[in-house]
Amino acid sequence: MNFASDNASPAHPKVMAALAKANDGFAASYGADPIMDEVRGRIREIFEAPESAVYLVSTGSTANALSLATFCPPWGAIYCHEHAHVEVDECGAPEFYTGGSKLVLLDGAHAKIDPAHLQTKLEAAAPVGVHNVQRGMVSITNVTEFGAVYSVAEIAALAAIAKLWDLPVHLDGARFANALVTSNASPAEMTWKAGVDVVSFGGTKNGLMAVEAVVIFDPSKAWEFELRRKRGGHLFSKHRFLSAQMQAYLQDDLWLTMARDANAAAKRLADGIAALPDASLMHPADANMVFPVLPRARHQAAFDGGAQYYLAPMNATLDGPPDDPVGARLVCSWCTTNDDVDGFLDLIRR
């Protein structure tokens, strides 16, 4: 019953088999391997973007930071939610890789950017010209850090505001597959058709060992990304082991199957928790994350029974009256079973 993080889940057996197969013999390095040719073509097909530039990196932070650096100048502002991953979980990597861009934080329920707040911030930006950070770009996280999913219409509305100032839009899609299956949208509809210029197409949280794709819809930015990737130390020499993971991920829509399974487990979990008389959910369980509020005694029973997950906020503890409500974050992965969910629900019902 491990609900700590989808990062803690194993890689899918088909991914590990693909890695073993890729290890047979020799292959060209730095992304010139034949597997990457297949991956590049498949991602272009999936996103309906034949001219797009496609690159693989090993971590989500790398994908986000290099994407932002490619599109935002050092004197630019990156507009993102105050709870966006690029703000709270990347140790200043966006600022470091951009060479000084400033994150301008926005509010909004469930870690979704409030369009009115974005509009207000952009209208008020750079009132005295050279003395101010300039408007740079907008970054959207889907699935959000609180488990909510932006609809295609919501992404398009934010992108439309950004385009009033000719600003590029980045989509942090560490859980892109989970968002996609919830929305019933196509990858193209959720990205470039809605006004997104670059997407971090995640895989590590959804059954891969360590690989994310960056899809750039304007190929004129490709060379700069390549230089930044190399200069930042993120160009893999034995690139075929990144390519092989992504190849397995995309084959027979494994990426969508795993996301559907994770989302279904989270829904089962959320429904079971919501049925308790003294429980509630802090955020909608749109994808594979659940944020319940439970009496401290129910958390204690879960932990005593072997469940693993985080309390929320992170500084919450089990010290205190047993009836006090305490928040938590539970994350389901591609391999979360009904037995895992039902076992957890049995524990907290005691």
- Same-domain pairing of 244 and 173: yes
Output the CA–CA distances (angstroms, integers) from residue 96 to 16, 200, 228, in the order listed. Answer: 33, 18, 12
Please give the pLDDT value at position 315. 87
Q: Which of 252, 270, 286 is the last residue of a domain?
A: 252
- Same-domain pairing of 163 and 244: yes
Q: Which pair of tokens denotes residue 261?
A: 């399974």
Domain limits for position 274: 255-349
Q: How many CA atoms lie within 13 A of 265 on its CB side?
A: 28
- Same-domain pairing of 276 and 343: yes
- Same-domain pairing of 312 and 338: yes
Please give the pLDDT value at position 220. 97
Longest dimension (CA), the chain: 62
- Same-domain pairing of 226 and 106: yes
Please give the pLDDT value at position 350. 84
Report yes or no on 203 lying in a domain: yes
If one counts the domains in the chain, the total is 2
Report yes or no on 284 lying in a domain: yes
Report yes or no on 3 lying in a domain: no
User: How many Cβ atoms are within 10 Å of 97's Cβ, its own excluded?
Assistant: 23
Please give the pLDDT value at position 138. 98
Report yes or no on 6 lying in a domain: no
Report yes or no on 1 lying in a domain: no
Report yes or no on 27 lying in a domain: yes
The domain spanning residue 237 has which CATH number? 3.40.640.10
Query: Regarding beta strands 325-331 and 292-295, do their DSSP bridges make them parallel or antiparallel, or are they unpaired?
Result: antiparallel
- Same-domain pairing of 147 and 269: no
- Same-domain pairing of 311 and 332: yes
Q: Which of 194, 227, 252 is the last residue of a domain?
A: 252
- Same-domain pairing of 270 and 189: no
- Same-domain pairing of 267 and 247: no
Report yes or no on 91 lying in a domain: yes
**Crossing angle for the helix pair 222-231 and 60-71, nearest 10 degrees?**
130
Spatial distance between the Cα atoms of 311 and 146, rounded to a whole number of angstroms:
13
The domain spanning residue 260 has which CATH number? 3.90.1150.10
Q: Which of 252, 283, 299 is the last residue of a domain?
A: 252
- Same-domain pairing of 245 and 270: no
Please give the pLDDT value at position 145. 97
Instruction: List per-residue pLDDT tens for the chain, 350 residues long.
Output: 999 999 999 999 999 999 999 999 999 999 999 999 999 999 999 999 999 999 999 999 999 999 999 999 999 999 999 999 999 999 999 999 999 999 999 999 999 999 999 999 999 999 999 999 999 999 999 999 999 999 999 999 999 999 999 999 999 999 999 999 999 999 999 999 999 999 999 999 999 999 999 999 999 999 999 999 999 999 999 999 999 999 999 999 999 999 999 999 999 999 999 999 999 999 999 999 999 999 999 999 999 999 999 999 988 999 999 999 999 999 999 999 999 999 999 999 98
Report yes or no on 2 lying in a domain: no
